[in-house]
Amino acid sequence: MNEQQFPQILTVAGIDSSGGAGINADVATAFAHHVYPATVVVAVTAQNTYGVQGVELMPLAFVSQQFASIADDLAIKAVKTGMLGDASHVRLVAQELRKYNFGPIVVDPVMVAKGGAKLLADDAIEAVRDQLLPLATLVTPNIPEAEVLTQMQINSVADMQQAAYKLQKQGAQNVLIKGGHLLQAELTDVVLMADGTFLTLTDRKFTTKRTHGTGDTFAAAIASQLALGKSLPVAIQLAKAYLVATISTEIIVGHGHGPLNHWIEVQDD
Protein backbone atom coordinates (compact mmCIF):
# COMPACT_ATOMS: atom_id res chain seq x y z
CA MET A 1 0.00 0.00 0.00
CA ASN A 2 1.34 3.41 -0.95
CA GLU A 3 1.46 5.56 2.19
CA GLN A 4 1.06 8.68 0.05
CA GLN A 5 -2.47 7.67 -0.93
CA PHE A 6 -5.20 10.15 -0.11
CA PRO A 7 -7.46 9.01 2.79
CA GLN A 8 -10.50 7.24 1.34
CA ILE A 9 -13.79 6.11 2.87
CA LEU A 10 -16.66 4.08 1.51
CA THR A 11 -20.30 4.87 2.18
CA VAL A 12 -22.83 2.10 1.53
CA ALA A 13 -26.27 3.73 1.65
CA GLY A 14 -29.09 5.46 -0.21
CA ILE A 15 -29.21 8.62 -2.31
CA ASP A 16 -31.46 11.50 -1.16
CA SER A 17 -32.78 13.39 -4.22
CA SER A 18 -32.99 16.58 -2.14
CA GLY A 19 -29.31 16.27 -1.25
CA GLY A 20 -29.38 16.61 2.54
CA ALA A 21 -29.24 13.06 3.91
CA GLY A 22 -27.91 9.62 2.99
CA ILE A 23 -25.01 9.34 0.55
CA ASN A 24 -25.30 13.02 -0.30
CA ALA A 25 -24.65 14.03 3.33
CA ASP A 26 -21.84 11.46 3.61
CA VAL A 27 -20.07 12.81 0.52
CA ALA A 28 -20.41 16.43 1.68
CA THR A 29 -19.09 15.45 5.12
CA ALA A 30 -16.11 13.56 3.69
CA PHE A 31 -15.17 16.51 1.47
CA ALA A 32 -15.36 18.88 4.46
CA HIS A 33 -12.83 16.58 6.16
CA HIS A 34 -10.54 16.44 3.08
CA VAL A 35 -11.31 12.73 2.79
CA TYR A 36 -12.18 11.06 -0.52
CA PRO A 37 -15.61 9.32 -0.54
CA ALA A 38 -16.41 6.25 -2.64
CA THR A 39 -20.07 5.17 -2.74
CA VAL A 40 -21.98 1.91 -3.06
CA VAL A 41 -25.55 2.93 -3.93
CA VAL A 42 -28.00 0.50 -2.34
CA ALA A 43 -31.13 2.63 -2.78
CA VAL A 44 -32.33 5.76 -4.54
CA THR A 45 -35.04 7.86 -2.89
CA ALA A 46 -37.40 10.48 -4.26
CA GLN A 47 -37.22 12.71 -1.21
CA ASN A 48 -37.33 16.32 -0.09
CA THR A 49 -37.27 18.21 3.20
CA TYR A 50 -40.96 17.28 3.77
CA GLY A 51 -40.45 13.54 3.53
CA VAL A 52 -39.83 10.52 1.32
CA GLN A 53 -42.08 10.13 -1.73
CA GLY A 54 -40.50 7.02 -3.28
CA VAL A 55 -37.81 4.37 -2.85
CA GLU A 56 -36.10 2.10 -5.40
CA LEU A 57 -33.60 -0.55 -4.29
CA MET A 58 -30.71 -1.45 -6.59
CA PRO A 59 -30.53 -5.00 -7.99
CA LEU A 60 -28.47 -7.18 -5.60
CA ALA A 61 -25.96 -8.21 -8.27
CA PHE A 62 -25.33 -4.57 -9.10
CA VAL A 63 -24.65 -3.75 -5.45
CA SER A 64 -22.02 -6.53 -5.44
CA GLN A 65 -20.54 -5.20 -8.66
CA GLN A 66 -20.06 -1.75 -7.12
CA PHE A 67 -18.20 -3.33 -4.17
CA ALA A 68 -15.93 -5.28 -6.57
CA SER A 69 -15.16 -2.19 -8.67
CA ILE A 70 -14.12 -0.24 -5.58
CA ALA A 71 -12.11 -3.09 -4.07
CA ASP A 72 -10.21 -3.58 -7.34
CA ASP A 73 -8.88 -0.06 -7.32
CA LEU A 74 -9.27 2.11 -4.24
CA ALA A 75 -7.58 1.94 -0.80
CA ILE A 76 -10.54 2.29 1.54
CA LYS A 77 -9.58 3.09 5.15
CA ALA A 78 -13.03 3.17 6.79
CA VAL A 79 -16.63 2.30 5.92
CA LYS A 80 -19.99 3.77 6.84
CA THR A 81 -23.28 1.98 6.20
CA GLY A 82 -26.63 3.80 6.16
CA MET A 83 -30.00 3.07 4.51
CA LEU A 84 -29.99 -0.56 3.34
CA GLY A 85 -33.68 -1.05 2.46
CA ASP A 86 -34.59 -4.67 3.11
CA ALA A 87 -33.33 -7.97 4.53
CA SER A 88 -31.80 -9.26 1.30
CA HIS A 89 -29.78 -6.05 0.85
CA VAL A 90 -28.63 -6.09 4.49
CA ARG A 91 -27.48 -9.71 4.11
CA LEU A 92 -25.71 -8.94 0.85
CA VAL A 93 -23.92 -5.87 2.22
CA ALA A 94 -22.75 -7.89 5.24
CA GLN A 95 -21.48 -10.63 2.90
CA GLU A 96 -19.60 -8.08 0.77
CA LEU A 97 -18.07 -6.36 3.80
CA ARG A 98 -16.81 -9.74 5.06
CA LYS A 99 -15.06 -10.28 1.68
CA TYR A 100 -12.89 -7.16 1.77
CA ASN A 101 -10.65 -5.44 4.29
CA PHE A 102 -11.87 -1.86 4.20
CA GLY A 103 -10.88 -1.01 7.79
CA PRO A 104 -13.21 0.00 10.64
CA ILE A 105 -16.96 -0.15 9.92
CA VAL A 106 -19.40 2.44 11.27
CA VAL A 107 -22.93 1.00 11.07
CA ASP A 108 -25.71 3.60 11.18
CA PRO A 109 -28.78 1.32 11.39
CA VAL A 110 -31.09 3.74 9.53
CA MET A 111 -34.74 2.68 9.87
CA VAL A 112 -37.07 5.68 9.58
CA ALA A 113 -36.65 9.10 7.90
CA LYS A 114 -37.44 12.38 9.73
CA GLY A 115 -40.93 12.57 8.16
CA GLY A 116 -41.74 9.01 9.34
CA ALA A 117 -41.13 7.05 6.09
CA LYS A 118 -39.67 3.56 6.49
CA LEU A 119 -36.18 3.19 5.03
CA LEU A 120 -35.74 -0.38 6.31
CA ALA A 121 -38.33 -3.17 6.05
CA ASP A 122 -39.54 -4.57 9.41
CA ASP A 123 -38.32 -8.06 8.52
CA ALA A 124 -34.78 -6.73 8.01
CA ILE A 125 -34.20 -6.03 11.72
CA GLU A 126 -33.06 -9.60 12.36
CA ALA A 127 -30.53 -9.40 9.52
CA VAL A 128 -29.17 -6.13 10.90
CA ARG A 129 -28.82 -7.72 14.35
CA ASP A 130 -27.37 -11.05 13.20
CA GLN A 131 -25.32 -10.09 10.13
CA LEU A 132 -24.33 -6.45 10.42
CA LEU A 133 -23.84 -5.74 14.14
CA PRO A 134 -21.07 -8.39 14.51
CA LEU A 135 -19.14 -6.50 11.78
CA ALA A 136 -19.56 -3.09 13.41
CA THR A 137 -16.55 -1.34 14.89
CA LEU A 138 -19.16 1.20 15.98
CA VAL A 139 -22.95 1.12 15.75
CA THR A 140 -24.75 4.49 15.94
CA PRO A 141 -28.52 4.02 16.50
CA ASN A 142 -30.85 6.83 17.51
CA ILE A 143 -33.20 6.00 20.39
CA PRO A 144 -36.07 4.45 18.35
CA GLU A 145 -33.52 2.30 16.45
CA ALA A 146 -31.84 1.21 19.69
CA GLU A 147 -35.28 0.32 21.10
CA VAL A 148 -36.10 -1.87 18.10
CA LEU A 149 -32.71 -3.62 18.15
CA THR A 150 -32.70 -4.26 21.92
CA GLN A 151 -36.46 -4.77 22.43
CA MET A 152 -36.38 -2.41 25.42
CA GLN A 153 -37.88 1.02 26.11
CA ILE A 154 -35.45 3.91 26.46
CA ASN A 155 -36.62 6.88 28.55
CA SER A 156 -33.42 8.04 30.26
CA VAL A 157 -29.64 8.16 30.00
CA ALA A 158 -29.50 5.11 32.33
CA ASP A 159 -31.72 3.22 29.84
CA MET A 160 -29.39 4.31 27.01
CA GLN A 161 -26.45 2.81 28.91
CA GLN A 162 -28.32 -0.46 29.45
CA ALA A 163 -29.28 -0.60 25.76
CA ALA A 164 -25.64 0.04 24.82
CA TYR A 165 -24.59 -3.03 26.83
CA LYS A 166 -27.20 -5.11 24.99
CA LEU A 167 -25.99 -3.90 21.58
CA GLN A 168 -22.43 -4.78 22.56
CA LYS A 169 -23.63 -8.27 23.54
CA GLN A 170 -25.23 -8.51 20.08
CA GLY A 171 -21.75 -8.10 18.57
CA ALA A 172 -20.99 -4.41 18.01
CA GLN A 173 -17.53 -3.59 19.39
CA ASN A 174 -18.41 -0.03 20.37
CA VAL A 175 -21.85 1.57 20.67
CA LEU A 176 -22.99 5.20 20.29
CA ILE A 177 -26.65 5.82 21.13
CA LYS A 178 -27.75 9.25 19.89
CA GLY A 179 -30.05 11.13 22.23
CA GLY A 180 -31.72 13.52 19.78
CA HIS A 181 -35.11 11.85 20.35
CA LEU A 182 -35.06 12.03 24.16
CA LEU A 183 -37.23 14.93 25.35
CA GLN A 184 -34.72 16.93 27.41
CA ALA A 185 -33.38 20.50 27.38
CA GLU A 186 -29.88 19.10 26.78
CA LEU A 187 -28.97 16.42 24.27
CA THR A 188 -26.95 13.49 25.54
CA ASP A 189 -25.28 10.86 23.38
CA VAL A 190 -23.99 7.77 25.19
CA VAL A 191 -20.91 5.90 23.95
CA LEU A 192 -19.95 2.46 25.28
CA MET A 193 -16.36 1.66 24.34
CA ALA A 194 -15.04 -1.85 23.67
CA ASP A 195 -13.20 -1.80 27.04
CA GLY A 196 -16.48 -1.23 28.93
CA THR A 197 -15.96 2.47 29.67
CA PHE A 198 -18.60 5.10 28.92
CA LEU A 199 -18.14 8.43 27.17
CA THR A 200 -21.02 10.88 27.47
CA LEU A 201 -21.44 13.77 25.02
CA THR A 202 -23.77 16.51 26.21
CA ASP A 203 -24.70 19.57 24.17
CA ARG A 204 -27.39 22.21 24.19
CA LYS A 205 -30.28 21.64 21.81
CA PHE A 206 -30.51 24.25 19.05
CA THR A 207 -33.98 25.46 18.20
CA THR A 208 -34.07 24.65 14.53
CA LYS A 209 -36.04 22.45 12.17
CA ARG A 210 -33.01 22.14 9.88
CA THR A 211 -31.85 18.73 11.11
CA HIS A 212 -32.21 16.63 7.94
CA GLY A 213 -29.33 14.16 7.82
CA THR A 214 -27.86 14.75 11.30
CA GLY A 215 -27.40 11.03 11.94
CA ASP A 216 -25.77 10.42 8.54
CA THR A 217 -23.46 13.40 8.96
CA PHE A 218 -22.37 12.29 12.45
CA ALA A 219 -21.52 8.73 11.32
CA ALA A 220 -19.79 9.93 8.12
CA ALA A 221 -17.71 12.42 10.13
CA ILE A 222 -16.64 9.60 12.48
CA ALA A 223 -15.67 7.38 9.51
CA SER A 224 -13.74 10.31 7.97
CA GLN A 225 -11.81 10.94 11.19
CA LEU A 226 -11.01 7.21 11.45
CA ALA A 227 -9.66 7.28 7.87
CA LEU A 228 -7.49 10.23 8.92
CA GLY A 229 -5.99 8.00 11.62
CA LYS A 230 -7.78 9.31 14.71
CA SER A 231 -8.58 6.93 17.58
CA LEU A 232 -12.28 6.13 18.00
CA PRO A 233 -12.94 8.34 21.07
CA VAL A 234 -11.16 11.29 19.42
CA ALA A 235 -12.97 10.63 16.11
CA ILE A 236 -16.35 10.66 17.91
CA GLN A 237 -15.64 13.91 19.75
CA LEU A 238 -14.33 15.71 16.66
CA ALA A 239 -17.31 14.42 14.63
CA LYS A 240 -19.72 15.71 17.25
CA ALA A 241 -18.07 19.16 17.19
CA TYR A 242 -18.42 19.22 13.39
CA LEU A 243 -22.06 18.10 13.61
CA VAL A 244 -22.98 20.78 16.17
CA ALA A 245 -21.34 23.41 13.94
CA THR A 246 -23.32 22.22 10.89
CA ILE A 247 -26.58 22.45 12.89
CA SER A 248 -25.87 25.81 14.54
CA THR A 249 -25.08 27.70 11.32
CA GLU A 250 -28.25 27.30 9.28
CA ILE A 251 -28.51 27.36 5.51
CA ILE A 252 -31.97 28.05 4.12
CA VAL A 253 -32.84 25.24 1.72
CA GLY A 254 -36.32 23.71 1.36
CA HIS A 255 -39.46 24.29 3.41
CA GLY A 256 -39.50 21.34 5.84
CA HIS A 257 -36.65 19.73 7.81
CA GLY A 258 -33.82 21.48 5.95
CA PRO A 259 -30.27 20.21 5.39
CA LEU A 260 -27.16 21.07 7.41
CA ASN A 261 -24.31 23.46 6.64
CA HIS A 262 -21.71 20.93 5.55
CA TRP A 263 -19.30 23.71 4.47
CA ILE A 264 -18.47 24.60 8.05
CA GLU A 265 -14.77 24.21 8.82
CA VAL A 266 -13.66 21.04 10.58
CA GLN A 267 -11.71 21.84 13.75
CA ASP A 268 -8.77 19.62 14.64
CA ASP A 269 -7.95 18.37 18.15
Ligand X SMILES: Cc1ncc(CO)c(N)n1
Which residues sit at the interface with ligand X, rule CB under 6 A?
13-16, 21-22, 45, 47, 82-83, 110, 113, 119, 213, 215-216
Q: Is 247 in the site for ligand ATP (CB under 6 A)?
A: yes
Q: Binding to ligand ATP (CB under 6 A): which residues in 170-209?
A: 178-181, 187, 189, 203, 205-206, 208
Task: Count the Cβ atoms, other than its own, within 10 Å of residue 268.
Answer: 9
Q: For residues 7 and 213, which CB has a smaller minimum distance to ligand ATP in the complex?
A: 213
Instruction: In angstroms, give the least distance from the CB of 105 to ligand ATP.
Output: 17
Q: For residues 113 and 193, which CB has a smaller minimum distance to ligand X in the complex?
A: 113
What does 136 interact with, of ligand X, ligand ATP, none (CB < 5 to 8 A by kind)? none
Q: Nearest Cα to 27, choosing from 268, 259, 269, 267? A: 259
Query: In this structure, are residues 205 and 185 in contact, taking their beta carbons and an 8 Å threshold?
Result: yes
Q: What is the Rg, in whole angstroms, of the alpha carbon atoms belonging to the chain?
A: 17
Q: CA–CA separation, 94 vs 130, rounded Å?
A: 10
Q: Binding to ligand ATP (CB under 6 A): which residues in 110-169?
A: 114, 142
Q: How far is CA 149 from the centre of its chain?
A: 16
Q: Is 211 in the site for ligand ATP (CB under 6 A)?
A: yes
Q: Is 243 in the site for ligand ATP (CB under 6 A)?
A: yes
Question: Strands, E, within the chain: which ranges?
Answer: 8-16, 36-47, 52-57, 76-81, 105-107, 138-139, 174-177, 186-192, 198-204
Q: For residues 8 and 211, which CB has a smaller minimum distance to ligand X in the complex?
A: 211
Instruction: In angstroms, give the least distance from the CB of 163 to ligand X.
Output: 20
Using CA atoms of 97, 99, 103, 106 in order, give the dihedral in degrees to the nearest 10.
10
Instruction: In angstroms, give the least distance from the CB of 214 to ligand X.
Output: 7
Q: CA–CA separation, 151 vs 20, rounded Å?
A: 30
Q: Binding to ligand ATP (CB under 6 A): which residues in 66-95?
A: none
Q: CA–CA separation, 210 vs 43, rounded Å?
A: 23
Residue of minimal Cβ distance to ligand X:
22
| Long-range CB contacts for residues 147-151, cutoff 8 Å, separation at least 24 | 148/111, 149/109, 149/125
Q: CA–CA separation, 51 vs 249, rounded Å?
A: 22
Instruction: In angstroms, give the least distance from the CB of 5 to ligand ATP.
Output: 30
Q: Is 34 in the site for ligand ATP (CB under 6 A)?
A: no
What does 22 interact with, of ligand X, ligand ATP, none (CB < 5 to 8 A by kind)? ligand X
Q: Is 259 in the site for ligand ATP (CB under 6 A)?
A: no
Q: Which positions lie near ligand ATP, rule CB under 6 A?
A: 114, 142, 178-181, 187, 189, 203, 205-206, 208, 211, 213-216, 218, 243-244, 247
